[in-house]
Amino acid sequence: MERNPMRRQLQTLRKSLFDQGYLDDQFVQLEELQDDANPNFVEEVVTLYYRDSGRIILNIEQALERKPFDFNKLDAYMHQFKGSSSSIGAKKVKAESTLFREYCRSRNGEGCMRTFQQLKKEYATLRRKLEAYFQLARQAGPVETACRPK
C-alpha cells in the first residue's frame, strides 16, 4: 500500500490543527517527547487529558445548575481546567477558559454560562479532530515502513 499520500494527508491535517488555532506550540513540545521508547506518548497524554478534564467539565456543569452561582468554586474548577488544557496545547479551549474566568471575576453568570457552552463545543471539536489525527497516524504506519523512492 502506498503510504506517502497518507503521510502527506497526515501532515496536512496536522498543519490545519495549528493554522486553525486548535493547537499551539505546547503540542509540538509534546511531540518532541515521543520516541521509540514512548511511541504513543502524545496520544496517551491526550487520552489522559480528556479523562481528567471530563470530570472537571461535569463539576462545572453541576455547579452551573445551582443558584446562586458559587463563582469562587467555578473559578477554581476553571483554574484547574485551564492548566490541564494548556498542558496539551489546546489553544481555543484555553482561550474560552480565560474568558470564563473573567466572567467569574466580574460575577457575570450569563457570561459564564454562554462561555461554558462555547468552551464545551471547542473541547468536543478538538477531541474529534485529534481522534481523527491519531487514527490517521496509526494508519500511516511507522516511519520505517514508509515507501522508499524508486
Partner 1 sequence: MAPAFPSGDDRADFGTGGHRQFSFHDIVLRNRLTALVVDGVDFCRLVEQGFLRSCGLETQGVNNGDAAVELIASGAKFDLIIIDMFLPVMDGLETTRRIRALGERCKIVGVSAYIGENDREAFLAAGGDVFSEKPVSPEVLIPILRELDGQYSNI
Q: Nearer to partner 1 by C-beta: 37 or 68?
A: 37
Q: How far is CA 116 from the centre of its chain?
A: 15
Q: Is the dihedral of CA 91, 37, 44, 6 positive or negative?
A: positive
For the segment 27-56, give every residue that binds partner 1 (CB under 8 A): 28-36, 38-42, 45, 48-49, 52
Residue 123 beta carbon to partner 1: minimum distance, rounded to whole angstroms = 16
Spatial contact of 79 and 57, defined as CB atoms under 8 Å apart: no
Long-range (24+ apart) CB contacts under 8 A made by 140-148 are 140/3, 140/6, 140/7, 140/9, 140/10, 141/3, 141/6, 145/3, 146/3, 146/4, 146/7, 147/2, 147/3, 147/4
For the segment 84-143, give every residue that binds partner 1 (CB under 8 A): 84, 86-88, 97-98, 101, 137-138, 140-143
Residue of the chain from 7, 114, 120, 129 that contacts partner 1 (CB under 8 A): 7
Q: Nearer to partner 1 by C-beta: 65 or 72?
A: 72
Spatial contact of 103 and 118, defined as CB atoms under 8 Å apart: no
Residue 67 beta carbon to partner 1: minimum distance, rounded to whole angstroms = 25
Binding site for partner 1 (CB under 8 A): 7, 10-11, 14-19, 24-26, 28-36, 38-42, 45, 48-49, 52, 76, 79-80, 82-84, 86-88, 97-98, 101, 137-138, 140-144, 146
